[in-house]
Structure 1
């Protein structure tokens, strides 16, 4: 496994790790935030290109307002009013999006230096990333030990395996916030990407992107991806929920569990495909509807609909509403979830 030291302007030294398989596919990530900076895979012509968004300058990962490629926790998603009630006590968390708590707060897992232990065998190459989160961290109860394993197999599967244990009941749901663009080098937007999502229900959002507690049926709406269709169908068809998300998707989809892949994505021009399988109950689909202006990517400036996030997770709405996938972790039931990203070529 290759490594490279990265010296930032704030006098932090990070390590960049590179996983590469026998097919030429590779994954680069930092010990800072577990941030994935590169996933390079071949297209139909064998050209290997990066298919995730990345900053031009490593220092930009320090603020990282859009969570490019980062491990997110303790709780992925938005917690309403940055607070929750648990076992007779109200817990107040840091506010980092209006009056709400987003993706673990300003100092969440995306901003920590993780311990990394690489490994390799005949079938795969990988690395175990570990982190200790003490009681009171970010306002959350319980001492939590987290282990995330990045695995690259020789059949072009990138696997993220999440584990966590606690000594006290506490909210926890982990995800990775990579932005995918299968065109390679972000040369095109995701408008013409073809998508399938094994879901008939999305969580309705209010004007501040907080779930209202209601589920909406996607049948015969722009959010219906039960059959393959281009993502631009949701970008160009204005609905109340599309407008709430600034002209795209930023919604929790509850999986049906009826299809082999929970999510299928393909770029017709390059021929690259991505199939996602997971034991998570749902996914937040975010289509980079409102990236801040001026963000410098290695491949140019960020623009609208330049990437899609596939944030497999439970729902923090369960802390305030009934009927949502639970995010509570207990000492008796350790957290163990897995998401598999299988890259291929369109036949």
Structure 2
């Protein structure tokens, strides 16, 4: 999901100057042939630059025995690269991003980032909790988006390597202090990425607080399963396991209605090309300038369930998303406009060259009593899990 405007550069921290060392990421867009199976999974640590001239940012490459690789930086917990196999046994990077820390800091539309404290929009930048009104920074028209002007995507996380047999991972932790971006409570947050032997990337979110607060964490990777960022994502076949979605108003805030997808352009219960109906004469599509809406996933009780799938027909790359979350935001790169440079520096990210499938709770839940609660209280633990499994279909 992206801002409801052409392009936005968000300040990092108010009142603080920015100085960066530009550190290039060696990941390129070219194919990486599979020569032989690796002896074992590994974690490779390297430098990725300096944030605010004093905070080192590290990159961790998680590599499994099959050759699949997921690169994560400590700034924003950003997934900068994800190399997945194709039908002809080559690995290509399938996520949008940048080569340098400077580009992420100065102009990223949340590429690959951890989103918090609250993913998606909160209307008019305020909510009430236990009789008290909390005011948040507005950074999307009249609304607060993705935690405000300096959310979890714009901080440096602490990192700990995790290795368990054939699985390799990275445990990221961050303390968001009481009052951070207007939210109450000291929020201790942990996000753990685990790359498994079967080419599944597990993402586990955990949080605790010392005051009642609201929490809605998600992951904002933009995918292009073709492995060629010059391609649009319109031929990608997507399935969303949902019978209902949330219509929105002009500010992309849910109206409160849960609407059936049956007979609408929002029905993805069977795999359908993203571009099949994206330009249809539909009032909701016009408001989002395409798909930028939240679907209510089938299944209840917080169990791990199928959320969505995506297939690139040409390469055969197939992604299957499972989650304990009740909803998923589907965003189709409607605001990418060719102003951002690709990782190899030879092209730009054009209109609809990436899509997001963000598992989460409903947008604006703190202001809508009929939506599932996102309140977290002292003594409770916020805990959700989402997995992304990569395979090949003939």
Counterpart contact for 1:198–1:257, Cα < 8 Å: no
Q: What is the Cα deviation at residue 59 of structure 1?
A: 0.7
Q: TM-score, normalised by structure 2?
A: 0.85
Corresponding residue for residue 17 of structure 2:
none
Of 181-190 and 164-173, the range deviating more from structure 2: 181-190
Q: What is the Cα deviation at residue 88 of structure 1?
A: 1.0
Counterpart contact for 2:245–2:259, Cα < 8 Å: yes
Q: What is the Cα deviation at residue 229 of structure 1?
A: 1.1
CA distance in 2: counterparts of 1:341 and 1:166, whole angstroms: 28
Corresponding residue for residue 36 of structure 2:
none
Q: Larger strand proportion, structure 1 or 2?
A: 1
Deviations 1:303-345 (A, max 9, x none): 1111111110112422112322221111232101000000000
Corresponding residue for residue 341 of structure 2:
296
Deviations 1:150-177 (A, max 9, x none): 0000100000000000111101010010
Deviations 1:265-309 (A, max 9, x none): 000000000000000000111111112541112152111111111
CA distance in 2: counterparts of 1:238 and 1:22, whole angstroms: 48
Counterpart contact for 2:174–2:188, Cα < 8 Å: yes
2:185 maps to which of 142, 145, 148: 142
Q: Does 1:282 align with 2:327?
A: yes
Q: Does 1:127 align with 2:170?
A: yes
Q: What is the Cα deviation at residue 134 of structure 1?
A: 1.1
Counterpart contact for 2:64–2:166, Cα < 8 Å: no
1:190 maps to which of 206, 221, 233: 233
Q: Does 1:30 align with 2:73?
A: yes
Q: 1:159-178, aligned counterparts within 5 Å?
A: 159-178=202-221
Segments of structure 1 that go 5 or more residues without pairing to the other structure are: none
Q: Does 1:42 align with 2:89?
A: no
Q: Does 1:271 align with 2:271?
A: no
Look up the SS of the partner of 1:132 in the other structure: strand
Corresponding residue for residue 155 of structure 1:
198
Counterpart contact for 1:193–1:265, Cα < 8 Å: yes
Moved over 3 A (4+): none
Corresponding residue for residue 296 of structure 2:
254
Of 319-328 and 177-186, the range deviating more from structure 2: 319-328
CA distance in 2: counterparts of 1:142 and 1:58, whole angstroms: 30
Q: What is the Cα deviation at residue 238 of structure 1?
A: 2.4
Corresponding residue for residue 312 of structure 1:
359
Q: What is the Cα deviation at residue 211 of structure 1?
A: 1.1
Q: 1:46-57, aligned counterparts within 5 Å?
A: 46-57=89-100
Counterpart contact for 1:213–1:322, Cα < 8 Å: no
Corresponding residue for residue 328 of structure 1:
375
Counterpart contact for 1:211–1:317, Cα < 8 Å: yes
Counterpart contact for 1:56–1:296, Cα < 8 Å: no
Instruction: Give the number of equivalent residue pairs.
Output: 346
Deviations 1:34-82 (A, max 9, x none): 0000000110001110010012433111134410000000000000000
Q: CA RMSD in A?
A: 1.6
CA distance in 2: counterparts of 1:216 and 1:87, whole angstroms: 30
CA distance in 2: counterparts of 1:298 and 1:50, whole angstroms: 10
Q: What is the Cα deviation at residue 257 of structure 1?
A: 2.3
CA distance in 2: counterparts of 1:64 and 1:75, whole angstroms: 20
Q: Does 1:71 align with 2:114?
A: yes
Segments of structure 2 that go 5 or more residues without pairing to the other structure are: 1-42
Q: For the structure 1 residues 71 and 40, does the alpha-carbon distance in structure 2 shift closer, same or farther, using more than 3 Å as the test?
A: same
Q: Does 1:3 align with 2:48?
A: no
Q: What is the Cα deviation at residue 14 of structure 1?
A: 1.1
Look up the SS of the partner of 1:39 in the other structure: strand
Corresponding residue for residue 115 of structure 1:
158
Corresponding residue for residue 339 of structure 1:
386
Look up the SS of the partner of 1:180 in the other structure: coil
Q: TM-score, normalised by structure 1?
A: 0.96
CA distance in 2: counterparts of 1:92 and 1:28, whole angstroms: 35
